Amino acid sequence: MIKDLPQNVVKDIGIAVALESETPESKIWYVYLINKKDVPLETVLITSKGYGEKNGEQVKTSILRHAFPLIPAQSFKLIEPIDEATFGLSNEYWLSFYIGTDIFDKKFIFLPESIVDGNFIKLPLVNKPGVMIL
């Protein structure tokens, strides 16, 4: 029964969109997984997709899948570049990983227009400006 399954809550792990570099013509953005835990994450799987409405029409991006065998404790991992044109969509990252024999998963969703200067922080471990969901 589902009530018998353990409640494996994801804590101290975030997905962040970081401003990598900026010129007068363009900005370069990357998405990172940030592991603030004191233990490594094993068999990490991440899917990403964008969806929403743009110019009165429903829009969906391709689903991208990423796999990493190990993310060390107190570290970060580059997931993918992200196009600024998708910031008007919901950008979803679904994370699954193991700690020992326990499996964890969590969905992180950057809502439309949430990746803006007013929401920037200095991202932990990455030390770049950006927006993070814990």
Q: 87-127 pLDDT, tens per residue?
A: 999 999 999 999 999 999 999 999 998 999 899 999 999 99
Q: Does 54 map to a domain?
A: yes
Write down the pLDDT at residue 22.
Answer: 86
* CATH classification of the domain holding 99: 2.60.40
Q: Does 2 map to a domain?
A: no
Q: Does 4 map to a domain?
A: no
Q: Does 97 map to a domain?
A: yes
Q: Does 3 map to a domain?
A: no
Q: Does 6 map to a domain?
A: no
Q: What is the pTM of this model?
A: 0.91
- Give Cα separations from 10 to 29, 36, 98, 107 (angstroms): 25, 11, 11, 10
- What is the number of domains present in the chain? 1
CA distance 26 to 66: 26
What range does the domain containing 25 cover?
Answer: 12-133
Q: Write down the mean pLDDT value for the chain.
A: 93
DSSP string for residues in 83-128:
-GGGGGSEEEEEEEEEETTEEEEEEEEE-TT-SSGGG-EE-TTT-S
Q: Does 59 map to a domain?
A: yes
